[in-house]
Amino acid sequence: MFGKLEALGSRILSRFVPQIDAAACGWKHWDSCWQCKGKPCSVDGCTAKLYCG
């Protein structure tokens, strides 16, 4: 019974919440960023953390 409820909940949730695309994760690199005062930077696509240098 629990398995049926879990499957039903997953189907309902999938209608309202889009699945995360793993391909969206990755690094983006720029030669110059204003956040890093013109230095090169990278952004982690999964966590959105900015790394300068």
Q: Residue 48 pLDDT > 70, yes or no? A: yes
Tokens of 50: 């900015």
SS3 30: strand
Q: Is-contact 40 33, C-beta < 8 A?
A: yes
State the Cα–Cα distance between residues 51 and 42, nearest whole angstrom: 5
Q: Residue 39 pLDDT > 70, yes or no? A: yes
Tokens of 45: 């696509």
Q: Residue 34 pLDDT > 70, yes or no? A: yes
